[in-house]
Chain A
Amino acid sequence: KAGVTQTPRYLIKTRGQQVTLSCSPISGHRSVSWYQQTPGQGLQFLFEYFSETQRNKGNFPGRFSGRQFSNSRSEMNVSTLELGDSALYLCASTSGHNEQFFGPGTRLTVL
């Protein structure tokens, strides 16, 4: 079974730009969660999607948004990038037994 895939793996943007990250969950998993990981804050929850609906949302500004498609693939978008948005963005898909499997992450650098 293929694992969680995320694209792109690395991204460099400048302040003010916007970015879209993609995540494909493990086949059969319908829940996808997004996390931001920084050295100072650790892993912080962004949002969770299940069957194309946002089920939970963390404490991030409205510049962070996401969606999920009918094939369970998910995208997250960050608009008006700030330097502090530089982080590793991790996507996780959740099995029916509530185990989360993480993708390799997208490392975003904002210059």
Chain B
Amino acid sequence: EDKVVQSPLSLVVHEGDTVTLNCSYEVTNFRSLLWYKQEKKAPTFLFMLTSSGIEKKSGRLSSILDKKELFSILNITATQTGDSAVYLCAVEANSGNTPLVFGKGTRLSVIA
């Protein structure tokens, strides 16, 4: 059964800190890994990763995928209170019934 595990489940940091969120997965016929940020409403798309070792970057956020070790990390530098959210990792597989398998998320709280 396809599985996505995120760690830590929750994290509290101070503004300005750097955080690393982890996502490991077990899927058959991996196609891509996606990161989402969810505040009070719907998840918003952050990154899609398909190739190992290529870092994707957007402002203070960056992410990288390791297809050999089956994990991805999401880094946030110089955190701000607006980064407080649940960060979701999802994996897309080429086979199986489920287009996207989600992890349970990491709840990040950034305090001033």
Binding site for B on A (CB under 8 A): 4, 33, 35, 41-45, 48, 56-58, 90, 98-105
Contact = CB atoms under 8 A, between A and B. Distances in A.
Q: At the interface, is chain A mostly helix, strand, loop or mixed? A: strand
Given A104-B41, A104-B42, A42 B97 contact: no
B100 A45 contact: yes
Q: At the interface, is chain B mostly helix, strand, loop or mixed? A: strand
B105 A45 contact: no
Contact of A56 (B32, B99, B104, B105): B99
A45 B41 contact: no
Contacts of B88: 42-43
A42 B34 contact: no
B99 A48 contact: yes
Interface in B69-106: 88, 90, 92, 97-105
B43 A90 contact: yes
Best-buried of B92, B99, B102 by chain A (most CB within 10 Å): B99
Contacts of A56: 97-99
Contact of A102 (B42, B92, B105): B42
A43 B41 CA distance: 13
A101 B41 CA distance: 12
B29 interface: no
Shortest Cβ-Cβ A-B pairs, 7 listed: A102-B42, A42-B104, A43-B102, A45-B98, A104-B41, A102-B43, A56-B97
Nearest to B1: A59
